[in-house]
Amino acid sequence: MAIKGLKDLHYAVITAESEKSTTYSEIKKLGPAMALNLQPSINRGNLRADDGTLFSDAAKGPIAVTLNTAYLEEEVESDILGKDLDDNGGLTDNVNDDPPYIAIGGRSLSARGGYEYFWIYRVKLAPAEENKETLQETPTYQTPNLSGEALPRLHDGREKYKLWDQSSKVTDETIFDNWFEQVIDSDYEPNSGGGGVEG
């Protein structure tokens, strides 16, 4: 589906995960959206015999994620990158920082009208690339540019989910009202209790 734009980025930290379930924290706003790129990796192997290819197979690898926002609030940067946040609002980078797995959701305008909503279920981000330079005659901005990987959830192997709000197949419109209240997947049930548990 042709899409244009990106807005309303949200995240939820994975607080517990196992082969039976994934539990998310409450959903929070991530930051003003600029760009989100997902680059799947496919590993291919061929078995050659009799001077030709006899069999071919492929296996999916991690999805490379690049995320660019206008800025990150201190609490958000602390949450998604595992940094210490002090009482003054200062952030400390430490060699032992361990970013948590998070889910990332948002929506994009569809060229056919309406919005395409999405959730990426299990992402680990690395610290942002930082660029600082002196003021120029033409103003330029340096913005957070995060990179990382999206991996399948442990309990069901799911990686991401998207849904077009103008689709004739949508049977429960409340899914869009709740999109940023819980991490949505194809097992959607209305839930006012926040991130919740996917089982």
Q: How many C-beta atoms lie closer than 10 Å to residue 72's C-beta?
A: 21
- The pLDDT of residue 23: 96
Mean pLDDT within 137-150: 81
Using CA atoms, how far apart are residues 26 and 182, in angstroms rounded to an integer?
8
Q: Is the pLDDT of residue 3 over 70?
A: yes
- The pLDDT of residue 44: 81
Lookup: tokens for 110: 């569809």
- The pLDDT of residue 199: 45
- The pLDDT of residue 198: 52
Q: Is the pLDDT of residue 157 over 80?
A: yes
Mean pLDDT within 76-98: 88
- The pLDDT of residue 166: 93
Q: With beta carbons less than 8 A apart as the criterion, state whether 41 and 64 touch.
A: yes
* Higher pLDDT, residue 101 or 140: 101
Please tell me the least confidently modeled range out of 103-112, 154-163, 188-197. Answer: 188-197
Identity of the amino acid at 106: G
- The pLDDT of residue 104: 97
Burial 139-177 (b: 16+ CB within 10 A, else e): eeeebbebebbbbebeebebbbbebbbeeeeeeeeebbe
Using CA atoms, how far apart are residues 87 and 35, in angstroms rounded to an integer?
31
Per-residue confidence band for 196, with pLDDT thresholds at 50, 70 and 90: low
Per-residue model confidence as pLDDT tens digits over 6-62: 999 999 999 999 999 999 999 999 999 989 999 988 888 888 887 778 788 877 788
* Higher pLDDT, residue 63 or 52: 63
Per-residue model confidence as pLDDT tens digits over 112-135: 999 999 999 999 998 777 767 777
* Mean pLDDT across the chain: 87
